[in-house]
């Protein structure tokens, strides 16, 4: 286990805890279990990658962590608090200030300029207009977007659009950054650039969960979780020499003496 990331005594160390989380979709052919009892925990300050074949349930899990979808069963905790039954409104408020999300296809608002796409979430989160403007300016500079600040997002390259999406996700300095294939639609150069920005903009206490097919992206994470058929089937720590471990024991259980 790596050293504990910095956190104050009043903040819980676990950012995310999922216990026996399930998601079953109703389909024409009957119920389909996209997630089958997922146990999963992420500490504050961790950088975790989720990988696995297409259809294994990665996006389904990420959507649950973001509150964009509700689990069919199991428990989900965010900073120690049960959130699996929370309303769409409670989640919207939580996402506004505490969770940043980046998707594969950018999801920018095309009738707003690049700069406004970044600034609006700061205003919605209740920051004073001057503060929101300062944050927008700082991110435009840091993410090398100053020259395109006044353009509509559709005029930008894919790599630029994803940097705008990242700036928008980071403008409220979220404790948790969730990304679903953030480099999946980019060439390798633009993908590297997006990952560089994620690393550079990261604060020590920020927690990152990235879903990715790209081994180079996953190798930058502190921990890589593998999914298959709706289950977590393994986890590795890149940069450590040990063999890939096959463990299904979530870290919170190890801490509590390994009882399940």
The nearest distance, CB 59 to Mg ion, in angstroms, is 3
Whole-angstrom distance, CA of residue 56 vs CA of residue 34: 7
Bridge partners of residue 76, in order along the sequence:
18
Order across the sheet with 30-43: list the strands. 30-43, 14-27, 73-78, 81-82
Q: Which of ligand ATP, Mg ion, none has residue 10 at its interface (CB below 5 to 8 Å by kind)?
A: none
The nearest distance, CB 211 to ligand ATP, in angstroms, is 7
Residues of span 188-247 touching ligand ATP by CB under 6 A: none
Spell out the residues 6+ positions from residue 110 whose beta carbon is closer than 8 angstroms to its own. 152, 153, 154
The nearest distance, CB 72 to Mg ion, in angstroms, is 18
User: For ligand ATP, how many residues bind (rule: CB under 6 A)?
Assistant: 12
Is 79 strand, coil or helix? coil
Spell out the residues 6+ positions from residue 222 whose beta carbon is closer than 8 angstroms to its own. 2, 46, 47, 48, 237, 238
Closest to Mg ion by CB, 127 vs 231, is 231
The nearest distance, CB 135 to ligand ATP, in angstroms, is 31
The nearest distance, CB 198 to ligand ATP, in angstroms, is 19
What token pair was written down for 237?
Answer: 């720590």
- Which residue intervals of the chain are DSSP H helices? 58-66, 88-98, 114-124, 129-142, 158-170, 188-201, 215-218, 251-255
The nearest distance, CB 24 to ligand ATP, in angstroms, is 9
Q: Which of ligand ATP, Mg ion, none has residue 60 at its interface (CB below 5 to 8 Å by kind)?
A: ligand ATP
What token pair was written down for 202?
Answer: 């990261």
Instruction: Residue 13: name the closest of 46, 45, 43, 47 by CA.
Output: 43
For position 126 contacting ligand ATP by CB under 6 A, the verdict is: no
Residues of span 131-150 touching ligand ATP by CB under 6 A: none
23 to 62: interface string for ligand ATP, x by CB under 6 A? --x-x----x-x-----------------x-xxxxxxx--
Q: Is residue 206 within 8 Å of 5, Cβ to Cβ?
A: no
Is 12 strand, coil or helix? coil
Whole-angstrom distance, CA of residue 260 vs CA of residue 248: 11
Residues of span 23-62 touching Mg ion by CB under 5 A: 59
Q: Which of Mg ion, ligand ATP, none has residue 57 at its interface (CB below 5 to 8 Å by kind)?
A: ligand ATP
Q: In this chain, which residue has its C-beta nearest to Mg ion?
A: 59
Closest to ligand ATP by CB, 58 vs 231, is 58
Closest to ligand ATP by CB, 58 vs 95, is 58
Query: What is the residue whose two structure tokens read 């990331």?
Result: 5
Q: Which of Mg ion, ligand ATP, none has residue 55 at its interface (CB below 5 to 8 Å by kind)?
A: ligand ATP
Residues of span 192-251 touching Mg ion by CB under 5 A: none
The residue ranges that bind ligand ATP (CB under 6 A) are 25, 27, 32, 34, 52, 54-60
The residue ranges that bind Mg ion (CB under 5 A) are 59
């Amino acid at each position: 286990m790596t050293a504990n990331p910095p956190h104050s005594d009043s903040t819980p160390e676990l950012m995310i805890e999922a216990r026996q989380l399930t998601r079953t979709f109703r389909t024409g052919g009957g119920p389909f279990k996209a997630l089958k009892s997922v146990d999963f925990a992420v500490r504050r300050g961790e950088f975790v990658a989720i990988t696995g074949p297409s259809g294994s349930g990665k996006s389904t899990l990420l959507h649950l962590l973001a509150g964009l979808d509700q689990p069919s069963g199991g428990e989900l905790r965010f900073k120690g608090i049960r959130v699996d039954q929370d309303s769409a409104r409670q989640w919207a408020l939580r996402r506004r200030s505490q969770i940043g999300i980046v998707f594969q296809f950018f999801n920018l608002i095309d009738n707003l300029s690049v700069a406004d796409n970044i600034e609006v979430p700061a205003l919605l989160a209740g920051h004073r207009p001057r503060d929101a403007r300062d944050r927008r300016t700082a991110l435009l500079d840091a993410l090398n977007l100053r020259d395109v600040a006044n353009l509509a997002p559709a005029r930008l390259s894919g790599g630029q659009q994803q940097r705008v999406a990242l700036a928008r996700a980071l403008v409220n300095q979220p404790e948790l950054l969730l990304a679903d294939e953030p480099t999946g639609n980019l060439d390798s150069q633009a993908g590297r650039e997006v990952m560089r920005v994620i690393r550079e903009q990261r604060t020590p206490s920020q927690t990152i969960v990235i879903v990715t097919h790209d081994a180079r992206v996953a190798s930058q994470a502190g921990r890589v979780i593998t999914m298959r058929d709706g289950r977590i089937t393994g986890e590795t720590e890149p940069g450590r020499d040990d063999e890939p471990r096959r463990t299904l024991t979530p870290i919170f259980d190890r801490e509590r003496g390994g009882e399940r």
